[in-house]
Amino acid sequence: MIDVASALEYLHHGSSMPVVHCDLKPSNVLLDENMVAHVSDFGIAKLMDEGQSKTHTQTLATVGYLAPEYGSKGIVSVKGDVYSYGIMLMEIFTRRKPIDDMFVAELSLKTWISRSLPNSIMEVMDSNLVQITGDQIDNILTHMSSIFSLAMSCCEDSPEARINMADVIATLIKIKTLVAGANTV
């Protein structure tokens, strides 16, 4: 997920013309032989003019990953990609798609995770990720809580309230460093 965040950060801030992917989802991320993630399928991507922070479109992306402003008003911005990234982060660590059958009425992937923070992480995270017991489980739950909190920061309803991709990368690297340090003790 750091690779994907790095790709988005580059697309959004790496040149004077930001690129908004507009359809970020797991099937648009490819892994190479070294398990390095690459963002693909730029079919509906938008180039933003210099100084432009948002634009409108009638082309809709994949349901479940759309930011609220994109789905309801067709507003495209880098913050929409941040929202999609947050949903993808949730999906990877829960093993639940945002359009899973369990998400009906008021329950969505986002609200399900939000209700689990910070004390019920085990109920939402993919059980395949937790194959240890004892003292190590507390470390894992702490880090998973941090990841889900980061995902929630990406998925704020208001685009202005969402974190930016540079801060996402910094947070993920910090979590990764803490996990690696905990595993060496």
The tens digit of pLDDT for each residue in 118-137 reads 778 888 988 887 765 556 67
Q: Would you say residue 149 has pLDDT above 80?
A: yes
- Catalytic residue at 23? yes
Percent of the chain surpassing pLDDT 70: 89
> What token pair was written down for 93?
């660590």
Specify the higher pLDDT residue, 61 or 64: 64
- What is the CATH number for 55? 1.10.510.10
Given 23, 100, 135, 138, the catalytic residue: 23
The total of structural domains in the chain comes to 1
Spell out the residues 6+ positions from residue 115 whose beta carbon is closer than 8 angstroms to its own. Answer: none
pLDDT higher than 60, residue 90: yes
Do strands 29-31 and 37-39 pair parallel, antiparallel, or not at all (unpaired)?
antiparallel
What number of residues does the chain have? 185
pLDDT digits (tens, 9 = 90+) for 76-87: 999 999 999 999
The pLDDT of residue 171 is above 80: yes
Task: At 36, list the tokens.
Answer: 């390095």
Kindly report the number of other CB atoms within 10 A of residue 98's CB atom.
21
Residue 158 has pLDDT above 90, yes or no: yes
pTM beyond 0.95: the answer is: no
157 token code pair: 């309803």
What does DSSP assign to residue 76?
A: E
Domain coverage including residue 123: 2-184
